[in-house]
Each structure stands twice: as C-alpha cells, then as structure tokens.
Amino acid sequence: MRPFTYERATSAAGAAKAAALTRGARFIAGGTNLLDLMKLDIERPTHLIDVSRLPMAAIAATAEGGLSLGAAATNSDVAANAEIRARYPVLSEAIVAGGSPQLRNKATVGGNLLQRTRCAYFYDTSKPCNKRAPGSGCSALEGLNRNAAIFGASPHCIATHPSDMSVALVALGARVELVSPSGDTRTLPVADLHRLPGETPQIETELIPGELITAVVLPPPPAGGQLYRKVRDRASYAGGLASVAVAGGQVALGMVAHKPWRAAAAEAALAAGASPAEAIAKELEGASSLGRNDFKVPLVARLTAAAISEVKGRG
C-alpha cells in the first residue's frame, strides 16, 4: 500500500465534486475490494473519499412500483430485505451466492457493481496485464485461463466480471442513478454500465471521472418466476465459473464476459417460442473459447436451459 489521504464525504454531490478535485482520488465504500487491491499495489489511489456513511443506504419503494436501493446499502441488508425476498428473489439469491457473510456485511451495492475482475494475473503485479498496466500485454490469453470470458472478449483482455449481484440486476432490468462532479444526474441501465474490454480493458465502465453511483432502481418485477444459479468449484466463498439469472423471460449470464451478460438472443428466441435449450443455443452462437475455458460453453448451455426450465416448471 502507498500513502494516501482520506476524507469522509458529507453529501453525494460533494463526494463527486471532491473526486474531481484530486488527481488519483477514489471512492471507498465497504472497502472489501479496493483495500485488498491497494494492499497488493494494484490500485494506487492518492486520496480516498469515503461514501459508506452517506445517507444513501435506504431501500425504498418507487412511484413506478419498483424499488430503489441506495448505493451504500450493504449486500447483507439488500439480500435480507423482505420486499426483495418476496418480489425480487433472484437478487437475494444472487447476493448470498457471493463472498461470505463477513464480506456481504461490508460490501455495498455501489462497490459490488464496480468490483474488479478476479483474473489471477491481474492480481500478480509481476505479470503483464493490460487491465492493470495498460500496454503490458495479457498474461491470461495464453495462460491458465480456465475462467476466461466466452462472450465479447478481445485479444487485449479476456477477463470476466465476477459480480453475482449485477447478473440479477441485469436480468431484472435495473438502472443505476448517477451524480457527476458538476452535479448533473443521470441514469443508465445496469446492462450498459460496464464496457467490453476492446483495446482499453482498463476502462471498465461508462462512468465519467468522479461520477458517483447513488442508487440502483429496480423496475416492477417481470411476470414469471425468478432463479439464480451459480456454478463454482467450492460450495461457498468462491467466485463462479458461470452463473445464470432468470426473471420471467429475462435472462442474464455471469462470469462469461467482461460485464454481466444480458442474453438478448436467448430472450428473443424464448419470446418467439423456442425451448430453453434452443434459446440458449442461440445465445451461444456468439460464444468463443480458448481451450482451457471450452467447458464454459456446454456448461452455460446446460445450466441456463435447466434454470429456465425450472422457472417455467414452477408455473
């Protein structure tokens, strides 16, 4: 870790403004991802703006009949919320499939969305990594890349986004609310928040510098059942090899791309009357793998078909 200064923000707009004032400033919420990366010298902020105590932890009903989750709400609080468990069970299931209780007690909605990849080479500062050190190369490309992306990867980066929560948010069609350093607010679908790696894998989101996530807004839940299923090497406290979130006819996939992956082709096929297996096969027409991660293609096919069928079967 390198020396840094610290301030506690008193308002969301103030936090965004402060972030634009200091070069190398970063927000910190639960710190469960950022602090680890700082200790390993992967993240090197010069200034931390603590947004965890801002009054943006509420979970409240919206006028449209949906729910607004404050960006500083903890993962545990969101997962345990009665309204969420009743109307958005896929979100609860996704959150509790991630990390451990200790992590979820600290981790926040905003931080979870912006957590960085678990690519092992990103974590090892002795190795080339375009995401960590732009232009240095991608060690994973020809390396031990069992967990690499099968959608939307580029020769510059094949990492996946590891968040479980975001996959459910994408399936639910959630939006993020943002405030910029100049005080402007805007919203963005969670599905459009993250970018594909392209030639600049170090730029991971569509946020402008200093922009703060203030909330995530869930629309009313789609008709039909919901389910989150995650495949992992060990039963708990492990990043996924692949995951699927189903909310009615909406389907998102996790750990298969640089972002939570909305399975638009599968959704369209389903809407057109395709079987679950046919629908996911449509989606996987766009997949490509590298050898060590070949298994992800059949895995996603089987996992997704089973999950959609299970949801349908429940009526």
The residue within the footprint of ligand FAD, chosen from 13, 25, 27, 175 (CB under 6 A), is 27
Among 21, 61, 144, 203, the residue binding another protein under the rule CB under 8 A is 144
Residue closer to ligand FAD, measured from CB, 43 or 283: 43
Binding mask 219-248 for another protein (x = CB under 8 A): ------------xxxxxxxxx-x-------
Element (H, E) at 5: strand 5-8
Distance CA 306, CA 309 (A): 5
Q: How far is the CB of 27 from ligand FAD (least distance, A)?
A: 4
CB of 30 to another protein, least distance (A): 16
Contact 43, 26 (CB under 8 A): yes
- Under the binding rule (CB under 6 A), the answer on residue 112 touching ligand FAD is yes
Tokens 């959609």 identify what position?
308
Site for ligand FAD contains 93 (CB under 6 A) = no
Question: Binding ligand FAD by CB under 6 A: which of 66, 70, 162, 248?
Answer: 162
Cβ 186 vs Cβ 208: under 8 Å? no
Nearest residue to 241 (alpha-carbon basis) of 299, 292, 312, 288: 299
Identify the CA nearest to 84 among candidates 106, 72, 67: 67
> What DSSP line would sit under 227-276, residue for residue?
EEEEE-SSSSS---SEEEEEETTEEEEESSSSS-EE-HHHHHHHHTT--H
Nearest 10 degrees: CA dihedral of 100, 101, 107, 108? 120
Residue 298 CB, shortest distance to another protein, in Å, is 6
Phi, psi of 123 (to 5 degrees): -80, -15
With CB under 5 to 8 Å by kind, the binding choice for 231 among another protein, ligand FAD, ligand SF4, none is another protein
25-44 residues near another protein, rule: CB under 8 A: 39-41
Residue among 11, 20, 31, 195 that touches ligand FAD (CB under 6 A): 31
The terminus-to-terminus CA distance of the chain in angstroms comes to 52
- Decide: is 180 part of the binding site for ligand FAD (CB under 6 A): no
Return residues touching ligand SF4 (CB under 6 A). 117, 119, 121-122, 129-131, 138-140, 157-159, 201
Per CB under 6 A, residues contacting ligand FAD are 26-34, 36, 51, 71, 75, 98-99, 103, 106-108, 110-112, 114-115, 162-165, 212-213, 239
